[in-house]
Amino acid sequence: MSVLLEVCVDDIAGLDAAQQGGADRIELCSSLGCGGLTPSAGLMAEAATRSLPVIALIRPRSGGFVYSEAEARVMLHDIALAAELGLAGVAIGALTPERQLDRPLLERLIRAADGRLQLTLHRAFDLVRDLGAALETAIALGFQRVLTSGGAPSAMAGCAQLAALVRQSQGRIRILAGSGIRPNNVAALLAATGVHEVHASCRRPACETPDGELLALGFGDAAAQQTSADEVRALRQHMQLRQQTQD
């Protein structure tokens, strides 16, 4: 079975680079520097014109995943907008203060998708106390996939748990491995876990010299990164080499 590559991007240039590099699917967000937030309506509309399936991250703010009622209303509106614009799906997640999946809120968010959107449970999953129990909840709720590092800081560090989740899933849900996946480690990750989907940002430091005036006024980032078509292409090539050795 071929392994699918999802690339997360937060701007138009990232959309272009991911497509040029050979991504199979896009996770669309804003503010990748803080783990990703909900993309703007305009960015979602532009992404909807592309040929790749696009999953919109629905995360109204940085920080944890325990949400107020007002934040829940924002997420419900954004999910409805993603469906209206014709995106392929949404990545959602919510926790209780005890770090269990917030099933009542997730059920509301899923209803907002109205059966028109694929459902990814995002990395809020990695904060729950019992990943195995949370996986069963995700299956019961109807998620198509779970984005996870196996509860570890990186997917490589969480290899053993990712492999356990793949075994537990038994084809009922797809495990989408993410966090710190690069061309130089993806083959080892695939061999150790058996996952069939990989999520990566494929970013490199921005090529342009930062504009000193923009930096001084707070409008730039000296450590800015951007999605690289070459990095996407290299990751794809290493995934394909791993698959060829299995065939």
Q: What is the pLDDT of residues 149-199, one digit of tens each?
A: 999 999 999 999 999 999 999 999 999 999 999 999 999 999 999 999 999
**Predicted model pTM:** 0.93
Buried b (16+ CB within 10 A) or exposed e, 107-142: ebbbebbeebbbbbbbbbbbbbeebeebbebbbebe
Q: How confident is the model at residue 213, as a pLDDT?
A: 75
Summarised one tens digit per residue, pLDDT across range 34-84 is: 899 999 999 999 999 999 999 999 999 999 999 999 999 999 999 999 999
In terms of Cα–Cα distance, which of 242, 15, 6 is closest to 146? 6
Which domains occur in the chain, in start order? 4-246 (3.20.20.380)
Any alpha helices (H) in 87-222, and if so which ranges? Answer: 103-113, 131-141, 159-169, 186-193, 212-216
